[in-house]
Amino acid sequence: MWKHLGEQTIRFEAPPTILSAASTVGPKEGKGPLAPYFDVILEDVLWGEDTWEKAETKILKETIQRAISKANLDVEQIQYIFAGDLLNQLTATSFAMRDFKIPFFGLYGACSTMAESMSLGAIMIDGGYADYVIAATSSHYCSAEKQFRYPLQLGVQRPLTASWTVTGSGAVVLSKEGLGPYVTYITTGKVVDLGIKDSMNMGASMAPAAADTIINHLLDTNRTPDYYDLIITGDLGSVGKQLVIEMAGEHDYDLSKNYTDCGVEIFDATSQDTHAGGSGCACAAVTLTGYILKEMEKETFQKVLFIPTGALLSSLSSQQGESVPGIAHAVAIESQLE
């Protein structure tokens, strides 16, 4: 059990390298502050398809393809794909997988999926079961709204705590060999529920899970927040970000300096009218594969703790009066090995 640290963390003996990363985003994200970092910015949300669901499948498929070519690999060299999305029965992902003849694990972690896929992919590689693994995820504003909320043309007001699902996809190729950045630790989150029932305030429902995972990661690894150049959660938005800082503060961890949230960074909340910020699987995924990894290449960041967060609700569970449980998984990404 020596690879297992403390309560929830794994330290990789042979940390996998993130060999390549690819990102695709929709037009709205392409007008946001992170626009220069993305590989592909779509001009329209359908991308030549006739449904949003098909468009999401295409976005995921092309992003995975791009990550493979960036790594100078052939599709046949990839041994496993770990991926998932927000749609019922993971159709966006499984339909994309029809065209790859690669063994596939479908994952649902709501918007935390990028960390879930990277964690399992890294375990696969460190365990010696694979040389190259893809970890990917996608989300689409229109298909998510259709499934979880109201028709797009319905003239209702969104509350200020609501977030905006990011259209896009991020994929990474994890490799046994490589010169980094490395996935050094993962801390797998527990489901945490402090009884928030408002499905339009997902930042508040996920913040306790994010804080719990961050605190347990720091305890398990015996690190302090300032060990990292950047600690970044997935899609808590402005409300959830504030709550995480407060909850970590109660445990004497000061996150006020190097902590932010992908949902806060990806949109300009005032000019893009996204209210609390971005959300969706792609929010964390494209921020990682676009912004974070590219900045790591430039050595702006060397040690990053990436914590995608998921709100585990369905459209039925909210109507049945259930609260919204949250989950968050942490992945430590470092340019150098200790």
Partner 1 sequence: MDQAQSKKQLYQKRVEEVSPKSNLLVNCAWAFLVGGLICTFGQIITNIVKNLGYTRDEAAMITSIVLVFIGAFLTGLNLYDRIGKYAGAGSIIPITGFANSIVSPAMEFKKEGYIFGLGAKMFTVAGPVLVYGLLASVIVGLYYYLIH
Residue nearer to partner 1 on the CB measure, 158 or 223: 158
Whole-angstrom Cα distance, residue 103 to residue 263?
31
Whole-angstrom Cα distance, residue 331 to residue 334? 10
Shortest Cβ 31–partner 1 spacing (Å): 17
Please, what is the minimum distance in Å from the beta carbon of residue 201 to partner 1?
6
Kindly state the smallest distance separating residue 232's Cβ from partner 1, in Å. Answer: 20
Taking the complex as a whole, how short is the minimal distance between the CB of residue 51 and partner 1, in angstroms? 5
- Taking the least distance from each CB to partner 1, the nearer of 151 and 257 is 151
Cβ closer to partner 1: 69 or 242? 242
In angstroms, what is the minimal distance from the CB of 216 to partner 1?
Answer: 17
By beta-carbon proximity to partner 1, the closer residue of 152 and 337 is 152
List of residues contacting partner 1 (CB under 8 A): 50-51, 146, 150-161, 194-196, 201, 204, 208, 239, 242-243, 246, 276
Residue whose CB is less far from partner 1, 180 or 278: 278
Q: Is the peptide bond before 181 cis (omega within 30 degrees of 0)?
A: yes
Instruction: Give whichever of 193 and 229 is closer to partner 1, judged by the CB atom.
Output: 193
Take residue 258 and report the two structure tokens written for it. Answer: 């190097």
d(CA 43, CA 54): 16
Report the residue number, 79 or 161, with the smaller CB distance to partner 1.
Answer: 161
For 71-103, letters b (16+ CB in 10 Å) and e give: bebeeeebebbbbbbbbeebbbbbbbbeebebe
By the 10 Å C-beta count (0-12 exposed, 13-18 middle, 19+ buried), 252 is classed as: exposed
Please report how close the Cβ of residue 143 comes to partner 1 at its closest, in angstroms.
11
Could you tell me the smallest distance in angstroms from the CB atom of residue 155 to partner 1? 2
Q: How far is the CB of 55 from partner 1 (least distance, A)?
A: 11
CB-wise, 260 or 335, nearer to partner 1? 260
Q: Which is nearer to partner 1, 195 or 321 (CB)?
A: 195
Q: How far is the CB of 271 from partner 1 (least distance, A)?
A: 15
Question: In whole angstroms, what is the distance from residue 215 CA to residue 195 CA?
Answer: 20
